[in-house]
Amino acid sequence: MRLRRELFRLKNQKPLPNITFIDPDGTRRQFEATVGQTLLEVGQENGIDLEGACEACMACSTCHVIVDEEWYARLEPSSEDEKDLLDLVFNLERTSRLGCQIHITDELDGLVVSLPRGHLNLQDG
């Protein structure tokens, strides 16, 4: 009975969303993410170079990513605070976002983001 319940649970479990990170050199790396995580957390857990110096307090821009055009409109809009920080990043693009502000949902399965070349840590003064 216990085995049957476990098999049922596994069979009816949704697959985890897949997120693709593109390094500045063009290398693509895909990882599974847990719904509710931030993009910053997904990256850090998988060895992606997203510093997150302020630990997601929106006091830096070291988790700056560039969202693929196809996915940008599907994200929740940026807050005014996020927009203010984005105004200060190197390599700002129209689809730039902070990884700490993108929360993974089932609908983001397949999300593609690029890592910009270099970043500015606003906490370094």
- pTM comes to 0.83
What are the sequence ranges of the domains in the chain? 15-124
Q: What is the CATH number of domain 15-124?
A: 3.10.20.30
Please give the C-alpha separations between residue 56 and each of 15, 37, 74, 96, 110, in angstroms, as whole numbers: 27, 12, 21, 16, 23
Instruction: Evaluate whether 99 touches 38 at the Cβ level (below 8 Å).
Output: yes
pLDDT digits (tens, 9 = 90+) for 26-57: 999 999 999 999 999 999 999 998 999 998 88
pLDDT digits (tens, 9 = 90+) for 65-81: 999 999 999 999 999 99
